[in-house]
Amino acid sequence: MDNGRRSLEEIEQIALGRRLLDMSPQEVRAVAKAHKFLCDAIEQRRRIYGVTTGYGPLATTNVDPKQSALLQQNLVYHLCSGVGEPLSHRHVRAMMMARLTSLMRGHSGANPLLIDRLQAWLKVDLVPEIPARGTVGASGDLTPLAHLARALTGEGRVSLRGGRWVSSSDAHHQLGWKPLVLQGKDAIALVNGTSATAGIAAVNAVASQRALKLSTLLVLLYAELLAGHREAFHPAIGELRPHPGQRQLHRWLWSLSADSGALTPWQPRSETLPDMPGDIEQHRPLPQDAYTLRCAPQALGAVWDVVEQHAQTARIELEAVTDNPLLFADDDLVLHGGNFFGQQLAFASDHLNNALIQMALYSERRIARITNPVMNKGLPAFMQPLDTGLHSGFMGAQVSATALVAELRSQAMPASIQSIPTNADNQDIVPLGTIAARRASTSLEQLYQVLAIEALVLVQGAELKPTMSLSSASQSLCVWVRELVAPLEQDRPLAEDIAKLAQALADPDQVAPLTALLNAEG
């Protein structure tokens, strides 16, 4: 870590409960300094929004500092209006982590005791019940973060180490803790930020990067099964259309296919036409492949560009201070503004969602071609090796992939353009970034299910061509899949296999041997 900066991979590991959060000495000093500055400003009875005033359109009301704790408590109470199913365990931890990274910058004025307690919650894996719906992301993620604040004060429900929901007061008693009393700027510092959106976006970012890398490996195996032309992967093609993602895909596919004996090899010089004294010669093999193969660097390269743009937006947001007002202790300044307005994440999440849907579509099209005996160059229909017709192989799984893509397309309407004025027209524009981030997360889950189906189909296809000389990357993929799921010899229910493989593909630690194949290729 550098000056408190945490990578997206570190955020994900903390979200998964596989890593602890450390606070740097610089962050400890910055938090203490900002809190002292706030306390001095309150003592001086300075007018500070949400600390010595009411909230939103009620900010015309001055509030005596002696009522600080009641003001903060009432902020939490009136915002605890979330509805719907709870956010997932990892998304809540990611939200908590994102809020901490903002508070630890030392411009929010939160009590150091609050930050210590949030760290302790992450350490013991205590998470609050956070309803998924109810935030517009305009003044930050007020509603979900208010449910976090409520739990910190001993109210609401929590889960310890993934267990059943219990009352927060009982969990505090079990852990030997006293619930916090929020005062000063503690509650508004907690709720007035983009941390639910940023946390979910951070998890989405690394999951999307992995999905793209896995798609690249699947494209290579797909190309090998169809004896595709390696020529389409040549890096010189990408150099003439130098989008970063396309160039990256050319490099990956060209390097990974170097030891493949299954692809149609590239010849530096084109073959010459035979003498044709009579009629034009027809029905020769096509010199190039269908677009799912030939345009893979262009298609997946465009996805990679979007994935990287989204990841960069998430990185910047996780290094930001996103509440209001902001404290500048060194300059004796309290500035009122709108850093809580999550438009960047809203746009990035919607853009990512479209790219994820396209990635699922590309996968479904590859599944459709490779299971079709008219197009798959001699492989059996639906990869059923024995008694085809009596057994149907992956026919049902291919239909499921189609259904998943159809559902994903129905979820493609951007959230970031759906602004509805609220809060007595104080929030007269709203970005709706949390909806966009949650939608992208749902798309990711379904994308991994499609990729799992594709992996099962392609690995089965590789085993039906035992004499084929696969690239070492494809061999590694086949071995990895077979350690989890047995071959399909006779029809059996595939739901559990698909779920098991999708879960493994989405797990950063389980899938690390595969993603490392691309990391090694730059």
Question: How is residue 78 written in tokens?
Answer: 């009136």
Half-sphere exposure in the Cβ direction for 383 (13 Å, CA): 27
DSSP label at 105?
T
CA distance 369 to 446: 20
Mapping DSSP to helix (H, G, I), strand (E, B) and coil, where does residue 328 land?
A: strand
Q: How far is CA 290 from CA 235, 371, 432, 513, in A?
A: 19, 15, 39, 30
The one catalytic residue in 49, 222, 362, 448 is 49
Pairing state of beta strands 166-167 and 326-328?
unpaired
Structure letter (DSSP) for residue 5: B
Q: Give the span between the Cα atoms of 188 and 111, in whole angstroms.
A: 12
CA pseudo-torsion sign 118, 121, 123, 127: negative
Helix (H) or strand (E) holding 84: strand 83-86
77 is catalytic: no
Q: Are 370 and 395 in contact (CB under 8 A)?
A: no
Distance CA 92, CA 325 (A): 24
Q: What whole-number distance in Å separates Cα of residue 363 and Cα of residue 445? A: 14
For residues 502 and 496, give the distance between their C-alpha atoms in angstroms, rounded to a whole number.
Answer: 10
Residues in a beta bridge with 427:
422
CA distance 4 to 97: 12
DSSP code at position 1: -
How far is it, in rounded angstroms, from Cα 467 to Cα 347?
48
Helix, strand or coil, per DSSP, at residue 2: strand
Distance CA 430, CA 440 (A): 19
Orientation angle between helical segments 89-103 and 8-15, nearest 10 degrees: 130
| Helix 195-225 with 8-15: angle, nearest 10 deg | 100
Residue with tokens 């939608």: 439
Distances (CA, A) of 386 to 381, 399, 456, 464: 11, 21, 17, 11
Contact 394, 501 (CB under 8 A): no
Q: Which residues are catalytic?
A: 49
